[in-house]
Amino acid sequence: MKKSILFLLGFATMLCTCTQKPNSLIGTWTVDKVNVQFDEQRSTPELVKQIGEMEKQNVILISPDSLLIFNSLEGETKGKLSLSKDGTLTCNDNFFGIWKGENIVTRTNSPLGEIVVTYRKK
């Protein structure tokens, strides 16, 4: 009887820890890929390259208390991170990106086009 109870407790603990994936988010995330999709008639290859290089400097830090710190050349942004069941990440209730297991993907729209940045945990 004791073995059954211990097994059930251990199994329940395992299930709980397996479903709490936010722990996998904790850490430092650096840029893995940058895809700049600008309108060729409204930008130049030099501008696309420069934007890509700037984006590669971004770093995401996620702490155990769900604090997200986003460092870019434009400065530092901090906020409370939330994760929905579909992988959507929000920071202070604003859309931040999508968590896809090993990657965080962000999208930025501008008048020139879209920038998609993929981050990988360091």
User: What are the boundaries of each domain within the chain?
Assistant: 26-121
What class has domain 26-121?
Answer: mainly beta
- Please count the other Cβ atoms lying within 10 Å of the Cβ belonging to residue 103: 16
Give pLDDT tens digits for 66-113: 999 999 999 999 999 999 999 999 999 999 999 998 999 999 999 999
pTM: 0.80
Is the CA virtual torsion 93, 95, 98, 103 positive or negative? negative
Q: What is the pLDDT of residue 113?
A: 96
